[in-house]
Amino acid sequence: MFPKWLLTQQNLAAVDISGAQISDIVPESFWSSVPSTLEQFNMSNNMIYGVLPDLSTFQSLYQFDMSSNNLSGAVPSFPGNCFELNLNNNNKLSQGLYRFLCPKTEMNLGFLNLSNNLFSEMLPDCWRYFPSLKILNLQNNNIGGKLSSSIVSLNILQALHMRNNTISGELPKSWVNSPYLVVLDLAYNSLSGYIPPTFGNGFKNLSVLSLRNNHFSMAIPSSLCQLSSLLVLDLSNNHLSGTLPKCLSDLTEMVSAKHFPQTINTSYTVQSSLYDSDIAWFMWKRKEHSFDDLSGLYKGIDISNNNLQGPIPNEISSLAGLVFLNLSQNNLSGGIPSGIGQLTSLEFLDLSHNRLSGEIPTSLASISYLEILDLSENNLSGRIPSGTQLQGFDESAYMGNPGLCGAPLPTCLGDERTPIVQNGDNTAQPNEHGSDDLFLGLYISVVLGVITGFWGVCGSLVLKRSWRRAFFRFLDDTKDKVYVLVVVDIARACRRS
């Protein structure tokens, strides 16, 4: 039930009854009794239902949070100086988005979270009314329309979350300079065309770029290499073609093997107590994970399931900070870079379903943190480097490479005759003499031992008469002693019985 004592309160400046398990509507008498001096209102994480009234008369309202409830209807009007608004996760809130985003006057909103609702309207071209916007979260709705060029006017925007909608069209070509942008997530939409060649030139603080599951085509622009603060690059599940840019080594933050980024824009440690959205989503070990803290992000690149061709550039080996690298399901050719062992922080590596050839570099075995490896469905050949952790992966990690052999796959030709011995540095090496020489030496030693022993004894008896007589006399004496002992023991046994 709604707490009735609230109806009698006067001179309220802040209301916070979040997580109180209230399952009721907010009565109209409450809204009419609340003084216009109300500044903060938080009834999040309850089970409140119903429709919100017009709240534009509360001119002092600065923070408003009714996230994680069961509200329905439309987004109401708010006063122009409201700075933080969170209506996230109200599963029946579905109307009024266009009207709300196109007000008649300029809004002071800095934090807007309308994610996880049922909005299905078109995205309006009214961003000029929100010059103070820092965080915009509209993800997980059914919002359509296009990203208009006026989004460039959001000069101090730090995070744009629009994943999992139906936004179409191209990225604005004029979107060149967003110096404060840290997170840009447009995944799971219907965006198409090419990534503009100037895209990223002015995104000096961008740490997360996710464009996965769209319809982007053509080549990856080299301008993305200028994203020196980038921690996560996800361009997977598009139609990108061309080659992997060699300039990926310019991604400075990924070059650093330090887990916690040095250049991250700390202003994105969200100043709002109402902002509870996940900062970043990406595929981690084949499952989608969310992270709510940039300092805990894993550094990685995912450009899987595209149409990329050509070799994997050797320059990628300089990205020592990478924790995951997924280039699977492309048409990449050539060999695996010999310096891939320099990716010492790597825990996940997927190069499957390409046309890679040649041998597996021995340096790959030096990545001690590697937990998941998939090199299947390529044209790799030769022996899997032996005596290393590479034998510890399931054989499915190497399947579909007809020329590849060695544990955990079937043994290579000649392995049944060639023993493996350990040298000083614990790497497996074949015995240079081979197994035939080893067993031949054993047989010769046994035969020589038998011959030497036989003729050493018998030959002496044949050639030396006195030794022969003494030997047989010894045998006769021994026989007599044994006979006497046996007879005496039998006689004693008979007397006792």
Residue 467 is predicted with a pLDDT of: 59
pLDDT higher than 50, residue 428: no
Of 114-123, 250-259, 274-283, the range with the highest mean pLDDT is: 114-123
End residue of a domain, out of 389, 404, 419: 404
pLDDT band at 434 (very low <50, low <70, confident <90, very high): very low
Note whether residue 254 is domain-resident. yes
* Interval 95-118: pLDDT, tens: 999 999 999 899 999 999 999 999
Is 411 within the bounds of a domain? no
Asked whether residue 81 is assigned to any structural domain, the reply reads: yes
237 and 285 in a single domain? The answer is yes
Domain containing residue 383: CATH number: 3.80.10.10
Rounded mean pLDDT of the chain? 84
424 domain residue, yes or no: no
Domain membership of residue 415 (yes or no) is no
What pTM value is reported for the model? Answer: 0.80
pLDDT tens readout for residues 180-226: 999 999 999 999 999 999 888 889 999 999 999 999 999 999 999 99
Q: Tally the domains of the chain.
A: 2
pLDDT at 333: 97
For every residue of the chain, which 3-state class applies, written as one string?
CCCHHHHHCCCCCEEECCCCCCCCECCHHHHHHCCCCCCEEECCCCCCEECCCCCCCCCCCCEEECCCCEEEEECCCCCCCCCEEECCCCCEEEECHHHHHCCCCCCCCCEEECCCCCCCCECCCCHHHCCCCCEEECCCCCCECECCHHHHHCCCCCEEECCCCCCEECCCCCCCCCCCCCEEECCCCEEEEECCCCCCCCCCCCCEEECCCCEEEEECCHHHHHCCCCCEEECCCCEEECCCCHHHHHCHHHHCCCCCCCCCCHHHCCCCCCCCCCCEEEEECCEEEEECCHHHCCCEEECCCCCCEEECCHHHHHCCCCCEEECCCCEEEECCCHHHHHCCCCCEEECCCCEEEECCCHHHHHCCCCCEEECCCCEEEEECCCCCHHHHCCHHHCCCCCEEECCCCCCCCCCCCCCEEECCCCCEEECCCHHHHHHHHHHHHHHHHHHHHHHHHHHHHHHCHHHHHHHHHHHHHHHHHHHHHHHHHHHHHHHHC
The range of the structural domain enclosing residue 483 comes to 434-496
pLDDT at 182: 93
Q: Are residues 131 and 228 in the same domain?
A: yes
